[in-house]
A and B are shown apart, each in its own frame.
Chain A
């Protein structure tokens, strides 16, 4: 499996003005705030339940994403990665968390942006590698569990499949 997406939700939901994200993401590009090639900022605030404000990169996109009407930081890996599937998952979760920390600490949001580190959505953005089927879910579950066990402790979270069959293979992980 490749091309993991990780979404970490904003808490409390609602009432967050995304406009400062444009300046923040431009600054990240200018200051090379992330250890990867960042290219541009895309503003989709006009689209209902859309990608919000995105930081477009070569290896990954980051976004304050409003899909499904749930605001969160969405990390989306574009290029393939070496290593085991677990390595790739850890890398994706790590990148998403790092972006959340930077956003939370950014004075542009004046403390209004906080993320719930106890709930993730993890998706595989590649239908050929990971079809959204029962078998697909089992395969993803088998990869996700060891990572979450190490992160949160075995038995301390709920993992379930979310989304319709036409959507990307996605699991929701909520810490108890």
Chain B
């Protein structure tokens, strides 16, 4: 871990918005508490996950080296979650709402990738960034540096509202209904940390799309998908959304169901809030395999789900944030840096320009402007390239870029006359690869490279496919070049293989006592129409035969397609049996002695094993909110100690009292559906519900600990002194212990509703 970690807090003081600064202080103290053994593994795991600090392959301290599974002996005998070694490298996910970033944020990302990771920043299929090989104790400093540039990692993982994605062309797209960016922005920050979104059984993913027909938003495969729509009422155009719920990929892919043909823009936030509330209340909590929103929608049926949501919506007290963003929604769009212009005819173009122009340049709805895609190999970009891109964005497009769900970056509002110069600058930075969005622009999840759940090497395969397909992509028929390939390392679908012409996901097979890496072949999924249809699994092929599989399927498509027949239509026409027979012979695995290369995965040298697969953290840890609340009380008591040590006795006294107040509130929340945060109200109810009923009474100490709180409440305005603060801290610690014991007793009793 970095020797400089403690310096960043001081250095960035005043540069981080206050709620975020406090939130990061809390997180840092939780790390301290965990190191002191004062936090449970499960609670700490969920708390770091909710800040985007994820586990990584081999973090259980075991790795198969091709011969045997060996222990990785990390220095500290600590854990950061169940079966997760403290010192093991982890992944930091960084939320980028709707993929929007500034040049300065790119520069910060470059620094963080260099200093805390391995010099690579990785763009994910949900417009996030990820850094790998990060030490848990570096994460507070890393998060502070992000926060100072306006980026949060909060709720990037865990059972929370994940990054809100949106079509990267929104605002400049020729087919959009309207720009969804302001809505994605508003919903992101409305739901971020919202109390109604803190007790889900699983994550919730939200996506916006500016139109129905294109693919960019992928709304149909999300828990909540909002597609821009308008309607005319009394001659006036109203904005809203074709609103979908319950979509998702994973092992049981499901298309989202139509919730409302037209959800008015003013209802977007409150209805989303009510969906969160219904999901938190009725969603599965124990079995993570059936805990996503899609299962709840299926179980209840869309009509009943909608009824429950609207019933809840009717009970919500008005929140001015629901519509505040609508007041300036049209002024939030990006503006160009330069006047519009058109690409001039030049006698000689730079080598590669024409191919790049053909596949990476999109003419915007605004004449004379283009959006340029920077195609990143497997979503990877170096720190040097991030800095170069920051400079380029300042020079050409007023400082902004967006990430895409195809793991690329786009520069919007390029004055088209600048395209030649831009191409030259991108080329110099190694960022002008052609073929964006085409067959060689393979999308891949991290797979066995870093993911605990990976079965086969999705990145190894994707890099191989990319290299081979890119070599001759411009001599291919356009029908082939325009196909999409997406690869996942396992059935969990982070590579979004269902929504692709040719999709692959990692599986394994046994042959002669050996395990062989394979990929299941999924054909005919639809990337278009917001991932409007999912592909068909036709069989598993050894990993090393996937390039040949791609070659065979695409060749046959080219030979058999009728007129302008699309790939999906061709797959549907020939049927599953014919698809399967196409690859039957490729499923054979030679004996180990005959060709041992089949028993080694792509980009690896070890004999293949599935022994390294760990327990995933995608689902987060299902933790009762009271566990978090009581942990927060412990942290407050700890912070009171720190304040006392720093000589701030009045702060120490206040924190010690508040830790008891919040503990009392947490316990009351188990018995009462609605609780005011007013201290007198809490203290009164505490006496009535927990002291008078003797529920809080300790078998040996009786009501002694309860009186610590009640007395502290009565004397909360008393003058501060070091002795009083010290006493209060000790009492607070005992009160919190008693609160845990009380909660244990309450769990054994039926809930009072």
Contact = CB atoms under 8 A, between A and B. Distances in A.
Interface of A: 2-3, 22-23, 26-27, 29-30, 37, 39-51, 54, 56, 58, 61, 67-68, 78-80, 125-129, 164, 166-168
Contact of A46 (B4, B67, B380, B384): B380
A166 B75 contact: no
A47 B120 contact: yes
B232 to A, nearest CB: 50
A49 B3 contact: no
A67 B603 CA distance: 20
A128 B4 contact: yes
B111 interface: yes
B378 interface: yes
B74 A42 contact: no
Contacts of B57: 40
A69 to B, nearest CB: 8
A46 B463 contact: yes
B148 to A, nearest CB: 13
B65 A168 contact: no
Contact of A61 (B87, B118, B449, B463): B118
A79 B1 contact: yes
A45 B462 CA distance: 12
Nearest to B460: A43
A23 B603 CA distance: 9
A43 B4 contact: no
Interface string B108-139: 00110011001110000000000011010000
A4 B613 CA distance: 33
A22 B603 contact: yes
Nearest to B387: A166
B603 A43 contact: yes
B463 A3 contact: no
Nearest to B88: A39
Given A30-B66, A40-B63, A126-B115, 17 more contacts: A3-B3, A26-B66, A26-B604, A30-B67, A37-B73, A39-B72, A44-B118, A48-B377, A50-B120, A51-B119, A51-B382, A58-B87, A126-B2, A127-B115, A128-B4, A166-B110, A167-B384
Contact of A44 (B75, B107, B120, B604): B120
B377 A47 contact: yes
A127 B307 CA distance: 55
A3 to B, nearest CB: 7
A129 B118 contact: no
A98 B604 CA distance: 24
* Max chain B C-beta neighbours (<10 A), residue from A40, A126, A129: A40
6 contacts: A29-B65, A30-B70, A37-B75, A39-B89, A47-B377, A128-B2
Contacts of B378: 46
Given A37-B72, A47-B382, A128-B11, A67 B119 contact: yes
B3 A2 contact: yes
Given A42-B449, A129-B3, A54 B74 contact: no
B3 A26 contact: no
Interface string B557-579: 00000000000000000000000
A20 to B, nearest CB: 9
A56 B135 CA distance: 13
Interface in B344-396: 377-378, 380-382, 384-385, 387
Interface in B180-223: none
A127 B4 CA distance: 9
Contacts of B466: 46
B514 interface: no
A50 B119 contact: yes
Contacts of A43: 449, 459-460, 463, 603
Given A22-B605, A67-B382, A46 B115 contact: no
A116 B377 CA distance: 31
B430 A49 contact: yes
B745 interface: no
Contacts of A128: 2, 4, 7-8, 11
A39 B58 contact: yes
A51 B449 CA distance: 15
Contacts of A45: 463
A167 B3 CA distance: 19
Given A26-B604, A39-B89, A43-B603, A50 B380 contact: yes
Contacts of A39: 58, 63, 72, 88-89
A48 B428 CA distance: 11
A165 B65 CA distance: 41
B467 interface: yes
A103 to B, nearest CB: 15
A26 B606 contact: yes
A43 to B, nearest CB: 4
A55 to B, nearest CB: 11
B234 to A, nearest CB: 56
Contacts of B120: 44, 47, 50-51
